[in-house]
């Protein structure tokens, strides 16, 4: 059985810039190992055409992830996923930022009408995934 490559979804009607959505979605795959070290990402041209966004949007997203140490951007080979260890949390402010963003996100989806039990269920699923 062949494993299907991961998918990337973006919502063009969302207020979040497309490049941000691409970075966030790719990072989820990288952290969850949907994309593994050595995997090749589609070339900028292919991904931009498929998503219907400008080449620079995809190039910027790849660059952000390269700066975070996730990708190696080679001139001819495209973007390759790198082996990257999780850094130790050096800055306590990062932890506070995470708490604030999580609370803001929960408030945002709650105000958009997502039911509280569903939010709790998703957070539990996420926590269970992290504990594995």
Partner 1 sequence: MTMLIFSLLHLLLIAVSSSFLPVLTRPDLFFAVTVPAGFRTGGVGRAMVRRYRLTGWVGTVLVAAGVVGLGDRGAAFLAAIGGGLAVWMGAFLAGRRAAMPFAVAPDPVRTATLSVRREGVPGGVIGLGAPFVILAARGLECALRWDEIPVRFPVHWGLSGPDRWAERTPLAVYGFFAAIGLLCAVVLFQAWAMVHLSRQIASPGEPSFSERRFRRIGVAGLMALAWIFSSTLPPIENMTLVVPYGPALILLAAGGLTVALVLSGQGGTRFPEYQPLASTAAPSGDRTPDRNWKLGVFYVNREDPALIVEKRFGIGWTLNFGNPLSWLVVTAVGSVPLLLQLVR
Site for partner 1, rule CB under 8 A? 4-14, 26, 29, 34-35, 39-43, 45-55, 78
Residue 17 or 34 having the CB closest to partner 1: 34
Please, what is the minimum distance in Å from the beta carbon of residue 31 to partner 1? 14
Residue 38 or 92 having the CB closest to partner 1: 38
Which contacts qualify for 102-107: CB closer than 8 Å, 24 or more apart? none
Please, what is the minimum distance in Å from the beta carbon of residue 17 to partner 1? 14
Residue 54 or 103 having the CB closest to partner 1: 54
Rounded distance, CA 52 to CA 49, Å?
Answer: 5
Rounded distance, CA 107 to CA 5, Å?
Answer: 33
Q: How many CB atoms lie within 10 A of CB 19?
A: 20
Please, what is the minimum distance in Å from the beta carbon of residue 24 to partner 1? 14
Phi/psi-derived region of residue 38, left when phi > 0, alpha when psi is between -120 and 50, beta in every other case: left
């Amino acid at each position: 059985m062949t494993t299907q490559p991961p998918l990337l979804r973006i919502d063009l009607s969302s207020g979040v810039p497309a490049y941000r959505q691409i970075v966030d979605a790719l990072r989820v795959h990288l952290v969850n190992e949907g994309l593994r070290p050595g995997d090749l990402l589609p070339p900028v041209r292919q991904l931009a055409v498929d998503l219907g966004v400008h080449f620079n949007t995809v190039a910027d997203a790849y660059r952000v992830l390269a700066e975070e140490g996730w990708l190696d951007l080679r001139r001819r080979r495209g973007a390759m996923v790198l082996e990257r260890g999780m850094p130790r949390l050096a800055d306590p402010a990062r932890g506070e930022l995470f708490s604030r963003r999580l609370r803001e996100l929960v408030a945002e989806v709650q105000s958009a009408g997502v039911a509280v039990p569903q939010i709790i269920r998703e957070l539990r699923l996420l926590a269970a995934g992290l504990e594995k």
